[in-house]
Amino acid sequence: MTGSSDILTIALEDVRLYGCHGVMEQERRVGNEFRLDLNVECAAPEGCRTDSVEGTVSYADLYDVAVAEFAVPSALLEHVAHRITDSIERRWPQLTRIEVRIAKLTPPISGFAGTASVRLVRGRNDG
């Protein structure tokens, strides 16, 4: 197609992690279960045509970067999401969009049944 451009989305979904994030002291001491969803976008990389992992953004490498940042305790999930986004952007500057969602599976809210989450989306338009 003339004038078309392919956009690739790479996603990690429903990643279960344990971390010591929270405003309350006990959350930082005992920890909690979390769910991480990560989506990144870029112009279709060479790996789409060559079938070579060296020509793309490896989801295993994305996972390693996200887990390394997630391991650092923070009071706010917003801060964790920001650190993950910054690290990914530094490692893969070709990405045009990064979305990080972190859900605390059992938030310490009396009588609350559900999850609490934050979602950070960073995008850029180079046009």
Residues noted as catalytic: 104
Which tokens go with 114?
Answer: 């559900």
Residue of 46, 38, 34 lying closest to 106 (CA atoms): 34
Separation of alpha carbons 12 and 63, rounded Å:
8
The vertex-32 CA angle with 63 and 62, nearest 5°, equals 5
Separation of alpha carbons 52 and 113, rounded Å:
44
Q: What does the buried/exposed string (b/e) look like for 17-44 if buried means 16 or more CB atoms within 10 Å of the residue's CB?
A: bebebbeeeebbeeebebbbbbbbbbee
